Structure 1
Amino acid sequence: MATADQLKALIRSHGEGDETRFYAIALQVAAQAARNGHTKFAQELRELVDNLRKHAGPSITPAKLIPLAQPRGELVGLFAASYPKTRLADMALEPAVEHSLHQVLREQQERERLLAHGFQPQRKLLLLGPPGTGKTMSAGALAGELGLPLLTIQLDSLISKYLGETAAKLRLIFDAIAETRAVYLFDEFDAIGGERSAVNDTGEIRRVMSSFLQFLEQDESQSLILCATNHPALLDRALFRRFDAIIEYLLPSREVVSKIMESRLGLMDTSSVQWSRVARIAAGLSHAEICRSCEAAAKNALLAHRRTIKTADLTAALASRRTAQV
């Protein structure tokens, strides 16, 4: 069934006259209901949405909606669709990153006011940083906050060995971006955004990069386009000026490490943990590695029939995770 956030987003989009978003959220509710076993309700809701769209007048008919849960035709395999519930408040981020994401979110929420005064809200973002620092989760959080689906581009389906095919698929993706408002994530973006002058580059990759730059520059949709990479040094320099914001993710500071652990272990008794000592040992690990260490420590404690987490539990889990890095 619909969550409180989805209901609020439905009402807000209806009040703002944003029919595209209204229908997208309604389809999200239907998809979630189907996943929870409420198949009859999900089918009835989809039919209701279809009928409303069919009978809507031309002045309020939204842009063509692609069935996000199951892309059809030439879009099959190009997207992985999800409907995140993540919020920015769920994340432990460095202050600069958190500020940048909140600014993007605020501009999106007030986009009509900005557009009325001739300003475009930020929506083309380049996310840079080591693996496990929250880039992909940030895409989910923006989608969750805005009540939009998250569509992750499947690079293994996008990149083809045949001349011209990858650029043709890119055009399909940008057509979808223009037609359906959502958060679109190009993860591991360096696979297509690499430097065009690289000595081991191929002519096809150069053409793909040129096509992407052209599509990105011409895009005037309402969708959010996020490109994330662990290897910013590999990116073509011409890319950077095409984005509205470049957000750099770093390995967590000691303060953020403590925040991550306290949040992840919120259901356990951590009153005896020496956080400063644990934070020192966690230095150099990513957000994801710290979360996995917390999970390992919590599971070991529960299997030992206790809810109390000891400093030794966390230091052992962190040491194991660091060893796995080597």
Structure 2
Amino acid sequence: MAGLGEHITAMVQSHGSGDDSAFYAIALQVAAREARQGHHVLAGNIKKAVDASRQSPPRSNVTKLPQPGGDLAGLVQVTHPSSTLSDLVARPELTEQIKRVLAEQRQRETLFEYGFAPAHRLLLEGPPGTGKTMTAAIIARELSIPLFTVRLDGLLSKFMGETASKLRVIFDSVAEQRGVYLFDEIDALGGDRTGNDVGEARRILNSFLVFLEQSSPQSIVIAATNHRQILDKALFRRFDAVLTYELPDTKQAAAVVRGRLGSLAKGIKWPSLKAYADGLSHADLVKSAEDAAKRALMRNETAVTANDLILALQVRRTATLG
């Protein structure tokens, strides 16, 4: 039988995901547990609270999350993602790398005790739409910490001193507020500076490298890029791990489409669709599945046909690959 601690953990998780039905069900389990232990008044109060809450007007599913203030305002956007590791379709090797990062973070106190730091500086590289941003969200969700997405438009300034001081503000927050800090399209900061552009841009990159190297292991700093080849070589030495993302193979593509279609995927034979999906990213496949699903639902049908998917994939290929 689940203990009170497990019930509370499950209630927090269901509340965080907005699953009211699960939240109330667990609360009633707690009430039943208290009743069995003779705490009838407490059990009755829990049941009354559940009944009263269920009769209240439904909450909006859109929750306005508090955004950072002070010097951090305008530099980061905070979210609390819902994606989990099971949502990511990727090579087994990549999934294992992510699991290793999560395991080290969950046991970071043990590592600290022996003088080691968990992996906390990650570089994610690969084509657009292959799951890099999603990975940052997954790590935040799996560790129950917020995701801070750095807004490069707010960070970069034509005055190097301003950009360096803004970087300092962000990395001060890395040390003070545990979270996942995502620098998306890091090539805007970390592009190769071996050409003529060696002035302000070089100093900005050097500032970023110093802050990254000294970053607190209490948080996870993630940099993502679609263009590994243009990154400055000095960047790679500062990261604890480099995770490489690739376009999905046939099996992964089928899993992405079926996962998005759910029960609407009845009767789809993937081999006949393989040629239309080759070269498309995970994001492209998700969009194609959504387009095909909407087409079927608007016909009042409960299953997507192969023709629906072929048309959606062709449209996406034209838009993406030309």
Q: Tell me, yes or no, whether TM beats 0.5.
A: yes
1:3 counterpart residue number: 13
- Does residue 88 of the first structure (1) align with residue 85 of the second (2)? yes
1:291 counterpart residue number: 286
Amino acid at match of 1:163: M
Alpha-carbon distance in structure 2 between the residues aligned to 1:78 and 1:138: 21
In the TM superposition, residue 85 of structure 1 has moved relative to its aligned partner by: 1.0
In the TM superposition, residue 115 of structure 1 has moved relative to its aligned partner by: 2.1
Unmatched segments (≥5 aa) in structure 2:
1-10, 18-58
**Structural mapping, 1:67-86, within 5 Å:** 69-86=66-83
Alpha-carbon deviations, 1:129-159, whole Å to 9, x = none? 0110000010000000000000000000000
The answer (yes or no) to whether the contact 1:124–1:244 under 8 Å persists in 2 is yes
Alpha-carbon distance in structure 1 between the residues aligned to 2:88 and 2:157: 36
Three-state SS of the structure 2 residue aligned to 1:226 is strand
2:267 counterpart residue number: 272
Alpha-carbon distance in structure 1 between the residues aligned to 2:218 and 2:225: 23
Unmatched segments (≥5 aa) in structure 1:
8-35, 43-67
Alpha-carbon distance in structure 2 between the residues aligned to 1:74 and 1:251: 39
* TM-score, normalisation: structure 2: 0.80
For the pair shown, the structure with the greater C-alpha radius of gyration is 2
Three-state SS of the structure 2 residue aligned to 1:266 is helix
Amino acid at match of 1:219: S
% same residue: 47
The answer (yes or no) to whether the contact 2:269–2:306 under 8 Å persists in 1 is yes
Three-state SS of the structure 2 residue aligned to 1:188 is coil
* TM-score, normalisation: structure 1: 0.79
2:140 counterpart residue number: 143
Root mean square deviation of aligned Cα: 2.1
- Of residues 194, 202, 205, the one that matches 1:209 is 205
The answer (yes or no) to whether the contact 1:254–1:280 under 8 Å persists in 2 is no
- Of residues 232, 247, 253, the one that matches 1:251 is 247
Mark the CA change 1:6 to 1:295 in structure 2 (over 3 Å): closer, same or farther. closer
The answer (yes or no) to whether the contact 1:297–1:317 under 8 Å persists in 2 is yes
Amino acid at match of 1:247: L
**Structural mapping, 1:160-309, within 5 Å:** 160-199=157-196, 201-268=197-264, 270-309=265-304
The answer (yes or no) to whether the contact 1:94–1:253 under 8 Å persists in 2 is no
Three-state SS of the structure 2 residue aligned to 1:267 is helix
Three-state SS of the structure 2 residue aligned to 1:185 is strand
| Runs of 4+ in structure 1 over 4 Å off | none
In the TM superposition, residue 203 of structure 1 has moved relative to its aligned partner by: 1.1
Amino acid at match of 2:203: R
Alpha-carbon distance in structure 1 between the residues aligned to 2:97 and 2:111: 17
Amino acid at match of 1:313: D
Three-state SS of the structure 2 residue aligned to 1:86 is coil
Alpha-carbon distance in structure 2 between the residues aligned to 1:163 and 1:242: 21
Alpha-carbon deviations, 1:210-267, whole Å to 9, x = none? 0011111112330000000001111110110110000000000111001111111113
2:152 counterpart residue number: 155
Alpha-carbon distance in structure 2 between the residues aligned to 1:222 and 1:98: 22
In the TM superposition, residue 272 of structure 1 has moved relative to its aligned partner by: 2.0
Three-state SS of the structure 1 residue aligned to 2:243 is strand
Amino acid at match of 1:261: V
Three-state SS of the structure 1 residue aligned to 2:262 is coil
In the TM superposition, residue 279 of structure 1 has moved relative to its aligned partner by: 2.7
Alpha-carbon distance in structure 2 between the residues aligned to 1:84 and 1:275: 31
Q: How many residues align?
A: 270
In the TM superposition, residue 5 of structure 1 has moved relative to its aligned partner by: 7.7
